[in-house]
Amino acid sequence: MGKGISVIQPRAASDAARTDRELVVLLDEEYQRVGVADKATVHTGDTPLHLAFSCYVLDADDRVLLTRRALGKTTWPGVWTNSCCGHPAPEEGFEEAVRRRAGQELGLAVGGVRSALPDFRYRAVSAEGIVENEFCPVFWARAEGEPSPNPEEVAEYAWVEWADLVAVAGRTPWLLSPWAVEQIPRLDAL
């Protein structure tokens, strides 16, 4: 377990909903749940494996919503990435988590949430030395309106053609988050 990480024992969903802390689900190497921890203590130079998700949101014209992370983000500030990411709460399903996070981060209702890469896992180290170590299934969703992003999460956004995003990931990967660079070719191969 990472230094400085306080593991919180799992509790009922109703108890988790009453806390102001965002909890993440800790996993072992077989992706079995082994506990929960406060998100604020997990992302360090020695981040334990935990559960997350990524989502790519499409509009009515099948363009994908690309977001640029807010400059105040701890890791990869100002970097372009997929539509939204997050961590399911301890008793929350992925579809519910995707919908919740799209609302919080993008100010956007989404529908048609479907699994794309159910077994995606990655590890990346930011320039600040913070490690991302996530079992991170990837989803598609459909926008139900226009985004109104939370400025603490998203600096700006753009609707882009999928082929253009694939080209950017292949030719200029430094413009994108490391998880998006890994996810995009796998999604394109489906």
pLDDT digits (tens, 9 = 90+) for 54-77: 999 999 999 999 999 999 998 999
pLDDT digits (tens, 9 = 90+) for 137-172: 999 999 999 999 999 999 999 999 999 999 999 999
pLDDT digits (tens, 9 = 90+) for 71-94: 999 899 999 999 999 999 999 999
pLDDT at 3 over 60: no
- CB 62: neighbour CB atoms within 10 A? 10
**Secondary structure E strands in 2-87:** 7-8, 23-27, 33-38, 50-51, 53-58, 64-69, 80-81, 84-86
Active site (catalytic) residues: 85, 134
CA dist 66 and 158 (Å) reads 5
**Contact criterion met (CB below 8 Å) for 183 and 165:** no
pLDDT at 6 over 70: no
- Please report the pLDDT score of residue 21 as a whole number: 85
**Contact criterion met (CB below 8 Å) for 3 and 19:** no
CA dist 138 and 12 (Å) reads 26
